Amino acid sequence: MALNKVEICGVDTSKLPLLKEKEKEELFRRIKEGDEEAKETYIKGNLRLVLSVIKRFSNSNENADDLFQIGCIGLIKAVNNFNPDMMVKFSTYAVPMIIGEIKRYMRDNNSIRVSRSLRDTAYKAIYAKEHYVKTHLKEPTVQEIAEEIGISKEDIVFALDAIQTPVSLYEPVYSDGGDALYVMDQISDKNNKEEKWIESLSLEAAMKRLGERERYIINLRFFEGKTQMEVAQEVNISQAQVSRLEKNALAMMRQYLKER
């Protein structure tokens, strides 16, 4: 994935604007009043965030233009949902949303999917086989199935093999015109029990008690999997400072969870 090019999706990255804090505050005030022009200016002023995020995916085979477009969707969502009263920097809020949007795209884009025609062929073959067994009380050969449904035995073998392979967890298996039922809805997940959900809420509440920098460091270390050295480079402090802040933050979180 080429990330060193100047132009991505028609945007000259060498000329991206930089917004000052006062400009950001004023633009966000106008955004809350419904000013679409202010929103567009704010988004353009934060496109460097998208560029910084897609560099993390430089080892992937995805097209940089595609990732930039998807990252921009995450940025727009962040702008639409950001609350300045939370006392958190916009970049701290936006980066995880941009990363999440890109990861969802890569997950869905790389999903193994079986085409409709292959599934139809496989289902016809399975139905014909069941009908043959009921009628003749024995298993049919592939050639007999082929003659029954008028499809070559090679195509039948290929189709039956295809539906044996893993499909996307987001493959719809049923829809009655309303919400679709997906493969993932039919899979048991022992890690997604009510206890885990409650634990997640408690952890989120504990993190809210941390300062902005400590919360950002914990997010980078334990939710994005970065090393202390990588975190130090990102927040521009020493690795020893990161270690000290991390230990203090974890101690505060443990104390909070014990008191609950």
Burial letters 230-256, b for 16+ CB under 10 A, else e = ebbebeeeeeebbeebbeebbebbeeb
pLDDT-based confidence at residue 198 (cuts at 50, 70, 90): very low
Res 166 pLDDT > 60: no
Among 77-86, 89-98, 107-116, 163-172, name the one with the lowest average pLDDT.
Answer: 163-172
CA distance 119 to 137: 26
**pLDDT recorded at residue 195:** 44
pLDDT by residue (tens digit) across 200-224? 556 777 788 888 888 888 888 877 8
Among 41-55, 107-121, 158-172, name the one with the lowest average pLDDT.
Answer: 158-172
Question: Rounded to two decimals, what is the model's pTM?
Answer: 0.43
Percent of the chain scored above 90 by pLDDT? 5
What would the mean pLDDT of 27-48 be, rounded to a whole number?
89
Res 101 pLDDT > 50: yes
In the chain, how long is the greatest CA-to-CA distance?
Answer: 82
Q: Which residue has the higher pLDDT, 109 or 27?
A: 27
pLDDT by residue (tens digit) across 179-194? 454 544 444 444 444 4
pLDDT-based confidence at residue 172 (cuts at 50, 70, 90): low
127 φ/ψ angles, rounded to the nearest 5 degrees: -65, -45
Q: What mean pLDDT, rounded, does the chain reach? A: 76
CA distance 186 to 173: 10
pLDDT by residue (tens digit) across 126-153? 888 888 888 888 888 889 999 999 999 8
**pLDDT recorded at residue 7:** 59
pLDDT by residue (tens digit) across 18-29? 888 888 889 888
Strands (E), 146-253: 172-174, 181-182
**pLDDT recorded at residue 150:** 92
Percent of the chain scored above 70 by pLDDT? 73
pLDDT by residue (tens digit) across 44-99? 888 888 888 888 877 777 788 888 889 999 999 988 888 877 777 888 888 888 88
Question: Comparing C-alpha atoms, which of 121, 58, 71, 130 is closest to residue 98?
Answer: 71
